Amino acid sequence: MRNSTLSTLIVAEHDNQSLAAETLKTVSAAKSIGGEITMLVAGFQCQSVAREASTLNGVDNVMLADDEVYQHPLAENLSVLAADIGGDYSHILAAATTFGKNLMPRVAAMLDVGQLSDVIGIESEDIVIRPIYAGNALAKVKSTDPIKVLTIRSAAFDVAAAGGEPASITELDRVIPTEISEFAGQQIAETVRPELSAARVVISGGRGVGDKESFALIEKLADKLGGAIGASRAAVDAGFVSNDLQVGQTGKIVAPDLYIAVGISGAIQHLAGMKDSKVIVAINSDPDAPIFQIADYGLVGDLFEVVPELIEAL
Amino acid sequence: MKVLVAIKRVIDPYVKIRIKSDGSGVETNHVKMTMNPFCEIAVEEAIRLKEAGHADEVIVVSAGGIACQEQLRTALALGADRAIHINTTSIDTAPTDTDSCLEPLTVAKLLRSVMAIEQPGLVLLGKQSIDTDNNQVAQMLAAITQRPQGTFASKVVMEGNAVSVTREIDGGLESVKLILPAIISTDLRLNEPRYASLPNIMKAKRKPMDVKTPGELGVEIVLHQEVLEITSPPVRNPGVMVASVSELVDKLKNEAKVI
């Protein structure tokens, strides 16, 4: 149902070539609010992104700000542009990726409104559901602001399909240089393994893996399944892997289709980071390990026997 | 250069939280509280900047009830020089507890006032607190002070009147150069926080702690959001134990259909 007083601005995330998958899911979230949807594409030589946005089912208008100053998404100038345009909308949305998390609170504060972070459900135009305490509780929150700024947890929404009536593209000439910050470089991980927070399959090792060398076993299983590697805090603290692989409340929160926990007892702090996975498998020698309470499939056994056998069987 | 570090008192991440039966919130009475883990990393980084000669003074600040002075003392024991407690006890806008009136935008405005008084060259915050999981305060503070932000920092290098920040982004790392004063939020990889020694815990008791109210800082508390209900997430269906690897592979292929 459409309501003429509702209008949503989505700030698109892209690499100047194509839209991020998370932005496509944000369109679905926007559609559930109702009203017209406008997508703001700010970048450099990114006409292809604007064209892609214009064909998305549900997107009514596209605004394109194409200039060298927007080549790399810097919050300092992008927030000015988004807040400037966003002032005319009832809702401003972006995906809760590092792009959206970096940008949107800045946009909200410029408009002197609050932000609803990591929204997983939209009840109405001003009421949303969002996880708190690392997903151990869900909060139903009502915004009393005139403009609602939301970041959307993409795992909770479907991808918007292409194939709608092409939306019009309006070119903006508002160029906002930033003098207080500067893009200095980027290192995109050249790993063949998928990124931990976006992977479909995650294999995590814990203290039970024993030492750094034995972690190769976890890597082998991950490669066999095309998955990413994770670790419990115990494995990180013991120096088996670097702490950017930590899954848990203070590490990464993941929700893959398949999560295999190897040699992980299942402390609360770890469970908070993976308990929304679709299917959880636990391999542990201790039948009383708490991980078995949330595992869909549990196998009690010595991981040094079970994991090689599993690699063999796949 | 002064470094200002904002810290928050939260429920210990290793505690299993309990949701109040009336759905009004999470039980915090008689629950072990601690400094938010990302704030510990921010304090550690500030102390390292001082040890490296980049900072002259490290000031820690926290907003909340009287109890958050405990976390400020912890930060002093770790090496901060003095503390500012923004006491929100007298605020009666919140229905259940004083801390729920501290929305990120409010905290950002309180910190802006502290920045105006202290004139720090750098402000360090954790990237998010593990209770409300907002990940907003640093960005909001940067916005309302019109200063640059280096969020999700995994490396901080001082370069004269600027700071080079390596940020953890989806899929890799990004470096930005920010003109001081700058606002930085810390990610997990930035450092490993130290523990406070007993002599330092004793010394921390004599370090200065200023107490201010939001009114003294010129900040009016405005609520932008209302929490209608807190519920438990859906419970997972009970799983099964399998006896062998072949049974596991069979279930994953044919029952769960995930491989």
Nearest to A181 among B37, B148, B256 (CB): B148
CA angle A137/B223/B148 to nearest 5° reads: 90
Domain B2-227 -> CATH class: alpha beta
Q: What is the pLDDT at residue B97?
A: 52
Q: Average pLDDT for residues A159-175, to the nearest whole number? A: 90
Q: How far apart are CA B222 and CA B204, in angstroms?
A: 34
pLDDT tens, residue by residue, B93-151: 544 454 667 999 999 999 999 999 999 999 999 999 999 999 999 999 999 999 999 99
Tell me what pLDDT residue A310 has: 97
ipTM of the complex in this document = 0.94
The residue with tokens 């080079």 is B164
Tell whether B52 lies on the interface with A, counting CB pairs under 8 A. no
Average pLDDT over residues B36-65: 97
Nearest chain B residue (CA) to A108:
B140
* Mean pLDDT computed over B229-255: 94
- How many residue pairs bridge chain A and chain B with CB atoms within 8 Å of each other? 258
Rounded mean pLDDT of B10-28?
92
User: Helix (H, G, I), strand (E, B), or coil: what is residue B107?
Assistant: helix
Instruction: Provide mean pLDDT across the span A261-276.
Output: 93
Residue B9 burial (C-beta neighbours within 10 Å; 0-12, 13-18, 19+) = buried
* Gap between the Cα atoms of A113 and A125, Å rounded: 15
Average of pLDDT values for A145-155? 94
Contact A258 B258 (CB under 8 A): yes
Q: In the structure, what pLDDT confidence band is assigned to residue B205 with cuts at 50, 70 and 90?
A: very high
- Is A283 annotated in a binding site? The answer is no
Mean pLDDT of the residues in chain A:
94
Q: What percent of chain A has pLDDT over 90?
A: 83
Cβ A183–B149 below 8 Å, yes or no?
no
Q: Amino acid letter at A278?
A: K
Q: Yes or no: say if B153 and B166 are a contact pair by the CB < 8 Å rule.
A: yes
Choose the closest CB to B144 out of A109, A133, A298: A109
Q: Do A137 and B17 make contact, defined as CB atoms within 8 angstroms?
A: yes
Find the range with the poorest average confidence among B34-48, B49-63, B82-96, B141-155. Answer: B82-96
Give me the mean pLDDT over the A293-297 stretch.
Answer: 96
Question: What are phi and psi for residue A196, nearest 5 degrees?
Answer: -50, -50
Show which of residues 90-129 on chain B sit within 8 Å of chain A, judged by CB atoms: 103-105, 108
Answer yes or no: do B225 and A136 touch at CB < 8 A: no
**Across residues B23-49, what is the average pLDDT?**
95
Considering CB atoms only, which of B13, B170, B256 is closest to A98? Answer: B170
pLDDT of residue A242: 83
Please choose, from the candidates B117, B111, B158, B157, the residue with its C-alpha nearest in 3D space to the C-alpha of residue B136. B111
Among chain B residues, CA nearest to A132: B132
User: What would the CATH number be for the domain defined by A7-171?
Assistant: 3.40.50.620
Report the pLDDT value the prediction gives residue A198, as an integer from 0 to 100: 78
- Residues in B closer than 8 angstroms to A142, CB to CB, are 225-228
Residue B99, pLDDT score:
60
Name the CATH code of domain A201-313 (choices 3.90.79.10, 3.40.50.150, 3.40.30.10, 3.40.50.1220).
Answer: 3.40.50.1220
* Amino acid at the residue B129: S
Give the residue-averaged pLDDT of B208-234: 95
Q: Is A102's CB within 8 Å of B139's CB?
A: yes
Is A266 annotated to bind a ligand? Reply is yes
Give chain B's mean pLDDT. Answer: 94
Give me the pLDDT at residue A176, please: 95
Mutation choice for A interface testing from B10, B236, B251 by most A CBs within 10 A: B236
Confidence at A1, pLDDT banded by 50, 70, 90: very low
Residue B169 to chain A, least CA–CA distance (Å): 6
Residue extents of the structural domains in chain B:
2-227
The Cα–Cα gap between A214 and A307 comes to 11
Is residue A155 predicted with pLDDT exceeding 90? no
Res A251: pLDDT: 83
Cα distances (Å, whole numbers) of residue A184 to A42, A239, B165, B174: 19, 30, 9, 8
pLDDT band at A312 (very low <50, low <70, confident <90, very high): very high
Rounded to whole angstroms, what are the CA distances from B168 to A101, A194, B172?
Answer: 12, 16, 6
> pLDDT band at residue A188, thresholds of 50, 70 and 90?
confident
pLDDT digits (tens, 9 = 90+) for A231-246: 999 999 899 998 779 9
Per domain, the residue ranges of chain A are 7-171, 201-313
Tokens of A88: 């005319």
Look at residue A123 in the predicted model and tell me its pLDDT: 97
pLDDT score at B95: 47
Q: Are strands B172-179 and A36-43 parallel, antiparallel or unpaired?
A: unpaired
Q: What was the pLDDT predicted at A2?
A: 41
Q: Select the residue of B176, B189, B226 nearest A183 (Cβ to Cβ).
A: B176
- Do the beta carbons of residue B210 and residue B72 sit within 8 Å? no
* pLDDT higher than 70, residue A3: no
Per-residue pLDDT, averaged over A90-117, amounts to 97
Instruction: Check residues A150 and B101 and name the one with the higher pLDDT.
Output: A150
Nearest to A195 among B149, B170, B182 (CB): B170
Query: Residue A236 and residue A207: Cα distance in Å, rounded?
Result: 9
Average pLDDT score over residue span B30-35 = 96
